[in-house]
Each structure stands twice: as C-alpha cells, then as structure tokens.
Amino acid sequence: MADNWVESTAGDLRRWAGERGEALDEQGVRILLGLAREEMGLAAPEELTPDGVRGLLLEVFPETVVAGSDDVPTVLDAFRAIVRYLGDTGAVQAPAAAALAAEIDRVGPEFAEVVAAVDSEERQAAAEVIGGLMRAEGVSLDDQEAVDAWVRDFEELPEAERYARTEEYLRRAGELVVPPVRLASRAAVAGAARASGLTAAVLALADWTGERALTEHDTLTAEDAAAAAAALGLDGPRRHGRMEDEGALERLWWAAVEADVITAGHGAAAPGPACAGLRSDDDEALLAAWLPLFEATAVPGHDYADGLDAVELVQNELTGVLIHLYEQDEPTEPEILAGALLGHVEEAYDLSDAEAMADLVADALHLELATLEDWGIVEPAGDGLALTPLGVWAVRELLLADGFTAPVVGELAGARASDLIEGLTWYRPDAADEEIDGWLAAHDPKDAAADLLDVMRTGGPGARNLAAAVLHRIGAEAAPVVRAAREHPLVSPYAALWLNAVGDPSGRELAREEYLWVFVDTVAGMLETAEPGEAVEAALIDAPPEAEMKVMVGELWRTEHPGVADVLEALGAHHPDKATAKAARTAAYKARSAHEGARRGV
C-alpha cells in the first residue's frame, strides 16, 4: 500500500460510513491509524492483530495522545469502525475481524482505567503548576474571587506568553534549582581571590608580556612562549599517571585575554583593564575582575589543539565537575568524580576506545583537580575533595549567570511562610534546620503559626507536610491560633496532633479516618519530590507492623483524598511485603473506580 495509506484509508472509511448512514469520528480514526503506522510500523491496516490492538490501546495511545476519560468511548467506537470496515471490505477475513473486535471489547475496561490514571496525573500536574504560578504571584488559593480573576487574565494572554510564563515557573521550580549553600563573607571571598594561584599566575603572565608583538593569531611567538613558561615555572609538563599536559601557559594566555587582563589584537599585546581590578584593594573591584578570569578557565572558549585529547575533554567538562562538588553535602572522592565524569563523557562524545579513554580521563581529572587546588577552588576534606569558600562563591555566580536558582542559607529568614515552605523543598536536612531556626527567630510565634496554617489550608500535600513540620517547632504560646484553625478540614488533623504534642487541653486523638488521611497526605507530599520507591521507603520508617499495615492499606481506598490512588499505586509497586503490595494494588483499583463513579454521579 502507498506511503499515505493512513489518509487513503481514512477517506475510504469516511465514504464507507456515509453509505451506511453511520457517524464516524474521522479525527479519531486518523489518530489510531497514524499511531499504527508511525509508532507500530504497520505498512497497512490489515496488519493489525489482537496483540497489536492491545499494545496500541494500553501502551502506544496513552504514551502519545493527551486524552481524558470522556474520550474513551469515542476512541473505542472509532477503533470498532476501523475493524468493521476492514471486515466489510474484505481487507481481513471475517474470523480475523471478529477476533480484533473481541479484543477491543476485552481491552476496553483496562484502556479506560489507563487513560483515567494518565488523565488524573496530567490534571493534577497542571493544577499544581497553575497553583504554583498563582502563589508565586501572591494569589491566595483560598480567595476564590482572586483565583477566578487570575485564571481569566491568564487565559486571555497570547499562547506564547502563557507558555513562556509556565516554562519559567517550571524551570525555577525544579530543573534549574541547586541546593542551598552557606556563603563566606564578601571580605573573606575577596581575600581568597587575592591569594589565589590563578590570580598570581595571570598577573605574572601579564607583567612578563607587557607591550609585546604577537603572532598573526594574537598569541606569543614560540620563543616568547618558551621564555614566559620558564619565567612562570611552567616550562615542564604537568604529569599524572599516563597523562601529561604542556598547555598550562596557553590556557592562562587565553583566559587572560578573554578576561581583559591582557589586551591582544592586531599583532600586539598590552596590559588589559582588568589588571587594575585584580590588584585593587577594593573587594568589589577585585571580585568583578576575578570572576571573568575564573569563568574563562572553568568554561573554556578556545580549542587548545586539533582533535580532542583527554586533558582538553576534561577541561571542557570542568563545570560539570564543579557543579557536582557544589551539590554534594559531603566531600567527594576523586574516584567518584572520575566515574561520574566518565559516564557523562561516554554519553556526550563518540569515543573510539572508551576503555583506554577511561584511564586517561581519570589521570587528566587528577591534573585538573591539582590545578583547582592551587587556584584555591577545591581543597582536601577527609578522604575526598570539597569546594573552598571561594569555590562555592565562584560556582554559584556561574550558576546564577546561567539562570539557575541557587539559594543561600539564611536568605529566607524574613520571607513569608509560603516562600519559606516553597524554598525548603530544595534544602538538605541540616541546612533546612538552620533556615527554619532563622525564620522562627525573625517571627512572632503566633504570627508564624498563623502564616503556616494558611499555607496548610492553601497548599498541596508537600507544602502541608513541610508547614506542619515547621509548626511543630513552635511552642505552646501559639495554641490559641492553632485552636482557631481546627475546623478547616485540611488543617484539623494536623492541629489535633500539634495540640496533643504541646499538651494543650483541647488536644485529642485522631479518629481512624483522620489517621488514614494524614498517612495518605504525607506519602502524597513525598511523591511530589521523590521517586515512588524512595517515597514508600521513607513512609514505611514510621509505619505500623506488616499485619496492621495490610489492614490499613485495605481501608485507605475509602479515604477522601485526591492523591489516594497514586499513594496506593506506589505502595503496590514498591512495598516489600508481597501480600501488602497486592492489597495496595487492589485498593488502588477500588480508589480509581470510586473516583470515577463519583465523577459520573453514580
């Protein structure tokens, strides 16, 4: 059949349906036939098999097409029309057409369940993004009038602007966020930059060069390069293992030129304007000159040789190594750094001999780490390496320039509770404790409790969990505020737990349904930022014994929480006890069915 068999078949189907007076979802037909061709590789519709029907409906369609539960009957009817057409026209024999139709009927309920699950996840994700956008712009989700106004305004924006705002929010919310760090004082960072071996080497090169004739490529002549290397102590190659590098002077030269420490052009060199900054007693002037110099060495912009050798490869990937160190809570052993770097290199480069390159990359990385240590960027720590305070500051500046969100511990002390909770998502435990202590110290306990309770009313499970944890750091003086919030359904169980913890007379034990709701809310919050397996493992730390857990799982599906099915599916996939996992999968199905029934008013 011709390459355009999807269009020709859809046209024939349209005429076939018209002759019989049957309604036909022509767009649905085109989608199904297109998936059969593009995703399943079928050369004609008669190549469909019962297994193909199952695969198309349960795997290909949900992964490729955005559809809601309301679309399921229409999709199935379109598929049935295709099969009837194939049978009526003799494209497939009657028994084969009957088998295809039977498989559609057999798979239909499962297809509806898969689409409902995907639809629920997409709707929840979209709701979370919209809610995040509103909170970022100061709209309280409890103020329905303000929410409606925001939605109206947002929907009136051009599609490109809506997309750009959403993309910016998602970027800041996850992909380009690094963990918070502690920064040394500006004076300490500037002092380290003055003492850096990079500063000394580049100034020495600039002084030696002075005003000098250059080659047509704006580099030192071979004679001058040799003399400069000898003067700077760079006349011998750096060596580690099987790797040696003779390009230290050339690297410094191009860094100095790019950072305006040396001006090179039209065959002549002269001291550049950044020289004065590197020698300045003014901290800000120094750092303003030093950062471009560091960037020029950490983010190479010059090819050092024809072809890619291991040293140049590692230098090209040096920012990844620095970011890895920046994101780690503990010092990292060089071997671990080398392994992570090599894994990235194997993905990013076409290596003719990956095994041999692995040893060379490890040796070249040791050379770079030694250079970074001489420059004051990394330092030995325990059995590994860590960034120095200068290194932390410098890497953070590069991240900020690339659009990353790079928080600093302590910067949330004066923030609103909603901003605190949103920011804490990216904090390590020790840094989070420090940030929370600073925030609580800057706020009146009652005001802090009131703001946290507002977050619990308006935020999702993750925000509610974090806000509740911070609330538990506030003493009994906030009891009147917490008691006043007990009637809100999203706050009530958490308020009861807090009042019990502080010994307030109004405290009470949670009812069974409240206990189950809090469990679901807690795991749902974990699922927002962790993989399902990790969330389940964390949730089971304080979970009841297996026998009681299995009983609890059997009850969870009745919990009126929007995330209950997702929580049960995670438990079903990752609970270590097979019986409990099976019970969770059954309960997840019940939860999905109950939700669908409620949606339809059944």
pLDDT beyond 70 at 122: no
Q: Which bin fits 382, alpha (ψ -120 to 50), beta or left (φ > 0)?
A: left
Q: Which pLDDT belongs to residue 435? A: 94
Question: Is the overall model pTM greater than 0.75, yes or no?
Answer: no
Residues 6+ apart with CB under 8 A from 129: 166, 169, 170
At 385 the pLDDT is 95
What does the pLDDT read at residue 602?
A: 42
Report how far residue 256's alpha carbon sits from residue 391's, in angstroms, rounded to the nearest whole number: 19
Helix (H) or strand (E) holding 361: helix 354-374
pLDDT reported for residue 1 = 40
Q: What is the per-residue pLDDT for 137?
A: 72
User: How do residues 131-175 score in pLDDT, each as one tens digit?
Assistant: 777 866 767 666 778 888 888 888 888 877 887 777 667 655 556
567 has pLDDT over 50: yes
Helices within 233-333 (DSSP H only):
248-258, 274-278, 283-298, 310-316, 318-327
Is residue 489 within 8 Å of 453, Cβ to Cβ? no
380-405: pLDDT as tens digits: 998 899 999 999 999 999 998 887 88
Give residues with Cβ within 8 angstroms of 114, minimum separation 6. 57, 58, 62
DSSP string for 160-227: HHHHHHHHHHHIIIIITB---BPPPPHHHHHHHHHH-HHHHHHHHHHHHHSSEE--TTSS--HHHHHH
- Give the count of alpha carbons within 13 A of 15, CB side only: 6
Q: What is the pLDDT of residues 197-255, one digit of tens each?
A: 999 999 999 999 999 999 999 999 999 999 999 999 998 888 887 878 888 899 999 99
Residue 19 has pLDDT above 60, yes or no: yes
pLDDT of residue 302: 45
335-364 tens-digit pLDDT: 899 888 887 777 766 666 666 777 888 888
Q: Which two tokens stand for residue 284?
A: 């800000």
Q: Which of the 8 DSSP states describes residue 242? A: T
The span from the CA of 541 to the CA of 551, in Å, is: 17
> What is the model's pLDDT at position 175?
63
Name the 3-class secondary structure at 378: strand
Neighbours of 221 (CB within 10 A): 12
Contact 34, 78 (CB under 8 A): no
Residue 2 pLDDT grade (very low, low, confident, very high; cuts 50, 70, 90): very low
Residue 43 has pLDDT above 80, yes or no: yes
